Amino acid sequence: MRDPKSILITGASSGIGAALAREYAGPGCTLFLGGRNQSRLDELTADCTARGAAVESAAIDVTDAGAIAEWIATSDDRAPLDLVIANAGISAGTGTAGEPRDQAQRIMAINVDGVINTVHPALERFAARPAPVTDPGVKGQIAVMSSLASFRGFAGAPAYCASKAAVRNYGEGLRNAYARGGINVSVICPGFVQSGMTDANDFAMPFLMDGDRAARIIRRGLARNRGRIAFPWQMYGAAWLVQALPTWSTDWAMRSLPNKASD
C-alpha cells in the first residue's frame, strides 16, 4: 500500500517494530502499537507523537488470541486499518547443550501462533469491507515478519529457523489466496538487523544494519506490494543458494557455524 494512514504493529516496543513505527509516524497517520514492555512503548509513543502521528499503545501478548482479536477490532473501529504488521517474535539458540523443549515451544508459540493470532482477525476485517480504504482495489495490507534464517535450518537455532520458515510459507500462501479479494500480503525476510536479539550474539554478523535503514527498505517494499522483501541482497543471495543446494553439499558448512546463545 502506497500511503497507509492507519497502521497496527505488534512487537513494536523494540527492534524493527519500533523502527517501523518511527518510519511511518507523521501528520495524518494513526499508529496502534503493541508490545510486552509498556515503558518502552510509552517512550516510543512520545517519539511518534512528536513526529505528528496519533498513537495508541497496548501492552499485549500475541499468544493471547482473544486479546489480540479484540485489540485489532477496537483499533479498526477507531481508525480503519490500512496495514497490519505481524512483527512480534523472539529468538534463542542452543548454546552448547542443545535446545530445551520449553524454549522451542515458546518460540513457536510467539513466532508462529502469534502471527496467526494477528493475521486472521485482520483478514476477517479486511475481507468484510465493501470497498477499498486507501489504494484503488486494495482493502488492506498485511505484512508478516520472517527472516533470512527461514531458508535453512541452523544447528544453533533450530526452533527459530523453523518458526521463520513456517511464517514465510504461511505468508506467501496467504498472498496468493487473498490477492483476488483485494488484500495484499507481504513477507519480510531481513538479515542481521541491530536489536536486542542481535545484541545477544557473540559471533560475526555480516552486513549488520541499523533498524532505521531496515525500516526504510521494508516501507519501500510494502509500498510496491512486494511479495517477499528480503535484504540485504548479499545475504539473501547466500541464503537462497544454501537452500537450493543439496544438503550433502552444505552440511559440513552448517555444522561449522557458531552456536547462538541459549535463552
Q: How far is the C-alpha of 42 from the C-alpha of 157, rounded, in Å?
A: 32
pLDDT, mean of residues 54-76: 98
3-state helix, strand, coil in the chain (%, to 5): 50, 15, 35
Averaging pLDDT over each range in 91-95, 137-141, 202-206, 259-263, which range is the top one? 137-141
Give residue-wise pLDDT tens across range 167-193.
999 999 999 999 999 999 999 999 988
> What is the sign, positive or negative, of the torsion defined by CA atoms of 9, 29, 74, 227?
negative
Q: What is the CATH number of domain 6-256?
A: 3.40.50.720
Residue 180: how many other CB atoms lie within 10 Å: 7
**pLDDT at position 243, please?**
82
Kindly give the pairing relationship between strand 83-86 and strand 140-145. Answer: parallel
Q: Tell me the β-bridge partners of 190.
A: 231
Task: Give SS3 for 173.
Answer: helix
- Residue appearing with cell numbers 497517520: 29
Does 47 score more than 80 pLDDT?
A: yes
**CA–CA gap between residue 255 and residue 250 (Å, rounded):** 9
Catalytic (active-site) positions: 160
Count CB neighbours of 117 within 10 A. 24
Which residue shows C-alpha cell 518510519?
23
Which cell is 9 given? 504493529
Residue that wins the pLDDT comparison between 2 and 59 = 59
Domain extent listing, the chain: 6-256
- Order the strands of the 6-9 sheet from edge to edge: 54-59, 30-35, 6-9, 83-86, 140-145, 183-190, 228-231
Measured from the Cβ of residue 46, the count of other Cβ atoms closer than 10 Å reads 11
* DSSP per position, 65-113: HHHHHHHHHHHHHHS--SEEEE------B-TTS---HHHHHHHHIIIII
Return all residues near 28 (Cβ < 8 A) that are at least 6 apart.
Answer: 5, 52
From CA 118, how far away is CA 50, in angstroms rounded? 27
3-state class (DSSP) for residue 148: helix
Average pLDDT, integer, range 225-238: 92
Lowest-confidence pick of 8-12, 116-120, 192-196, 258-262 = 258-262
Residue 200 in grid coordinates: 545477544
Q: How does residue 198 score in pLDDT terms, banded at 50, 70 and 90? A: low
The single-letter code of the amino acid at 251 is: D
